[in-house]
Amino acid sequence: MSPSGASRRWGVARQLIPLLLWVGVALLLRWQVMEPRWIPSGSMLPTLQLEDRILVEKLRPRLVATLPRGSIVVFHPPDPLLAAGYDPRAALIKRVVGVPGDRIEVADGELRRNGVVVSEPWRAEPIDYELPPLTVPAGHLLVMGDNRNASLDSHLWGPLPSDHVIGTAVFRYWPLRHLGPIRFSPTTGTG
């Protein structure tokens, strides 16, 4: 092998190494820290619109024992949905309305947590179903879409195992007119 051929290959390798490192960092960030998602349904209206593009932060669910009430979470389908034929690679998005130990019910068109009506000013109409009182078990969350009457959520399939959570929705990057942090509802009190 000639010295000029070896130095040429080393020159190409020196140019590729930084590119490969950046690709590796980008993939690590995508898989472990932050990932883009889009909103496929109207279950989170009016907070999130159809076709919104969001960033999902993936560290918090691994670092905290329980996500706070009001967090908007992206998660893998729970077992009852998988049994009904849901794609195991799919992801759903809902708001945490109950954490372990909370007693949740829906009665008279209102969500109640621990006996107190939860204020939901974004709701245009009363909830049109009942949910008998249930206590959220350890290691689970109760999640519901903001569009309460058009959401496939915990009121139908029960508490969500916390280990199904992929991450929390933190930033909307499309459409540009709504660019910015996803604002959580002021109704996330401890009631």
> What residues are annotated to the active site?
43, 94
Rounded to whole angstroms, how far apart are CA atoms 163 and 149?
Answer: 26
Radius of gyration of the chain (CA): 22
* Structure-token pair, residue 179: 């660019």
Residues whose CB falls within 8 Å of the CB of residue 76, separated by 6 or more in sequence, listed in order? 88, 90, 91, 92, 164, 166
The residue with tokens 């932060």 is: 57
Rounded to whole angstroms, how far apart are CA atoms 36 and 67?
Answer: 20
Rounded to whole angstroms, how far apart are CA atoms 119 and 190?
Answer: 11
- What letter would DSSP give residue 83? H
